[in-house]
Amino acid sequence: MHQGRTLFSQLLEHASRFALDRCIRRYRGNHRVRTFSCRDQFLVMAFAQLTYRESLRDIEACLSAVPDQLYHMGIRGPVTRSTLADANEKRDWRIYADFAQVLISEARRLYAGEALDLELGQTVYALDSSTIELCIGLFPWSRYQQHAGGVKLHTLLDLRGNIPAYACITSGSFPDRNILDELVPEPGAIYVFDRAYLDFRRLYGLEKAKAIFVTRAKSNFQYIRRYSAEVDRSTGLVCDQTVLLKIAATAAKYPVPLRRIRYNDAESGRRYVFITNDFTLPALTITKIYKARWQIELFFKWIKQHLRIKAFYGRSPNAVRTQIWIAISVYVLVAIVRKRLDLKPDLYTLLQILSVHIFQQTALQQALSGGGYTNTSLPDSNQLQLFNF
């Protein structure tokens, strides 16, 4: 029973208060804080994400217009833009990064049984990064090129449910391949990524950890062919080869055989060369695994369009990271609620409903069941759908 509680408070019930308090204590977030606690900060920033607030002044105006609702939302401290700005500036962003990981773990557990189009028993991860652009004039610390500023959001996406299994925020100049050093490979899992992560020393680390990788070869890839398997050319496959690296310095970094698969895509007319350390899956399945990597591109596009990670409420590195991690938390929290309540509408629809009914006092499942709402936005016919399950 909702007992007259707002949708916002019912939604946040699915985020463990104990876990958030534990993260706050870990970094002494409430040390010398009298009124506006870290939990208050999280709730206000989550409200801003769900209702698409444009600025601190916008947040203050909206919440001051409904003072009677603040208590029911769980917000105990007064909400002013100066207080919120100070909290975003000084409260350790790692509090919300750790809490996001708690929510991610719960979401992955809930979505573990999701069907995978590839019909594979293994977990399939897509690894990529996206640059969140920042204005150098407002964020001078974010400069990574002469006329460009921003931070990188590195994400390891579990393709069962499209839930981030790992996320990290770095400077815009951070090399993508270096993030492989931060991952703890899962034996038997499949990791798919593009050529930006092609580093044979790091790929050999995945091989030694008994993990599978699928990526594309660069145009200057030099190899020695050891064996060629038969392929059905009518499927687009050109060759399926077992190869060794030719250049001695590179071969020293990856001394064991690789599998090289060449494929012609009839739809686009493009030719692809894939390399992997798996020798058991059919060659055509390897090409489909790499094609599934497009889901992470859609993930980045989706969160940039529907979460507040392009316009920021603060200008310091701490404020930017705080906002990004709370945005990720909100995304994962809505995904958790969708699964727990067995809701049919997609995440976009759920966020739209919440944005206009956040103070409504009705049962969460009833409000989010759709009520005849349909997503009228027309998807690009050239884009795959991210949330079509």
Q: What is the mean pLDDT of residues 28-34?
A: 91
Q: What is the reported pLDDT for 142?
A: 94
What the block records as the tokens of 259 is 């599998």
Within a 13 Å sphere around the CA of 190, how many CA atoms are in the beta-carbon half? 27
Q: What is the mean pLDDT of residues 357-384?
A: 66
Segment 218-260, tens digit of pLDDT: 999 999 999 999 999 999 999 999 999 999 999 999 999 999 9
User: Would you list the domain boundaries of the chain?
Assistant: 7-96+320-368
Segment 127-161, tens digit of pLDDT: 999 999 999 999 999 999 988 999 999 999 999 88
What the block records as the tokens of 326 is 């709370």
Q: What is the mean pLDDT of residues 168-184?
A: 94
| Closest of 41, 46, 12 to residue 24, by C-alpha | 41
